């Protein structure tokens, strides 16, 4: 079974609707964590394959992984501000079959020695052109990603820190020797819905992020 997993915060209701419109026809089931929603949007019941859960946002972006083990099979993980094109899941499945592990459209490879979470890396961005598949990724973007949960066995215990899903997910895979790959794509392949604030923008003091990086990237 191919499932999709999304964490959405309350102020992004309309953004979530656009994301669901795009991805729900491409998978068998969608699990949505509604973080800090005051109520369940009535339109969510229009989707026959979308399951939702109301949460208080204490898990942050790790709530994307709340239901990844509900079924055996491939898990597509999406941010609630990225609209995927038709054929997205098919494209990602092709990359997963080729490389295994976890495959994304966003990732980083850090220079050595590690200096800072936000400094000193080659950045392969989901919103820019990446001309070729990039293997050996060290921190994978979990907001436009696919993996097989039988190969990548992960649960919420992997996320002890809030809103650090990318780095903590990557730490687990890196330490297990599971490959991480960014697939080639063109600018405009994903459509971004601009937001006033993002997790990246909110990460001001990156002491913990940097310490985690140094703990597994030598």
More confident residue, 205 or 164: 164
pLDDT higher than 90, residue 201: no
pLDDT higher than 70, residue 159: yes
- What is the model's pTM? 0.96
pLDDT higher than 80, residue 197: no
Q: How confident is the model at residue 203 (pLDDT cuts 50, 70, 90)?
A: low
pLDDT reported for residue 114: 96
Q: How confident is the model at residue 161 (pLDDT cuts 50, 70, 90)?
A: very high
State mean pLDDT over 20-48: 97
pLDDT higher than 80, residue 152: yes
Domain boundaries, the chain: 2-216
State mean pLDDT over 95-104: 98
Mean pLDDT check: name the lowest of 7-11, 147-151, 187-191. 7-11
Contact (CB, 8 A) for 169 and 154 = yes
pLDDT higher than 90, residue 11: no
pLDDT higher than 80, residue 202: no
According to DSSP, the residues that pair with 50 across neighbouring strands are 30
Contact (CB, 8 A) for 156 and 65 = yes
Do strands 180-182 and 50-55 pair parallel, antiparallel, or not at all (unpaired)? unpaired
Residue found under tokens 């066995």: 153
How many CA within 13 A on the CB side of residue 156? 11
Residue 42, classified by CB atoms within 10 Å of its CB into exposed (0-12), middle (13-18) or buried (19+), is: exposed
According to DSSP, the residues that pair with 103 across neighbouring strands are 146, 181
Angle ∠(60,140,32) on CA atoms, nearest 5 = 40
State mean pLDDT over 160-172: 96
Q: Determine the CATH number of domain 2-216.
A: 3.90.550.10
pLDDT reported for residue 193: 94
């Amino acid at each position: 079974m191919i499932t999709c997993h999304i964490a959405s915060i309350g102020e992004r209701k309309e953004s979530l609707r656009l994301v669901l419109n795009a991805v729900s026809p491409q998978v068998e089931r969608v699990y949505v964590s509604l973080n800090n929603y005051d109520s369940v949007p009535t339109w969510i019941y229009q989707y026959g394959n979308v399951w939702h859960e109301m949460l208080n946002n204490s898990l942050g972006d790790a709530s994307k992984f709340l239901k990844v083990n509900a079924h055996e099979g491939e898990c597509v993980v999406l941010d609630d501000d990225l609209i995927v094109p038709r054929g997205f899941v098919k494209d990602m499945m092709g990359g997963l079959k080729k490389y295994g592990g976890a495959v994304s459209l966003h990732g980083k490879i850090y220079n050595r020695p590690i200096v800072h979470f936000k400094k000193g890396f080659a950045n392969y961005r989901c919103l820019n052109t990446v001309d070729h598949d990039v293997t050996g990724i060290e921190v994978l973007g979990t907001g436009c990603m696919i993996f097989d949960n039988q190969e990548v066995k992960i649960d919420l215990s992997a996320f002890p820190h809030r809103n650090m899903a990318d780095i903590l997910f990557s730490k687990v895979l890196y330490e297990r020797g599971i490959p991480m790959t960014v697939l080639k794509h063109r600018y405009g392949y994903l459509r971004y819905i601009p937001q006033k604030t993002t997790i990246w923008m909110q990460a001001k003091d990156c002491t913990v992020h940097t310490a985690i990086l140094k703990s597994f990237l030598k």
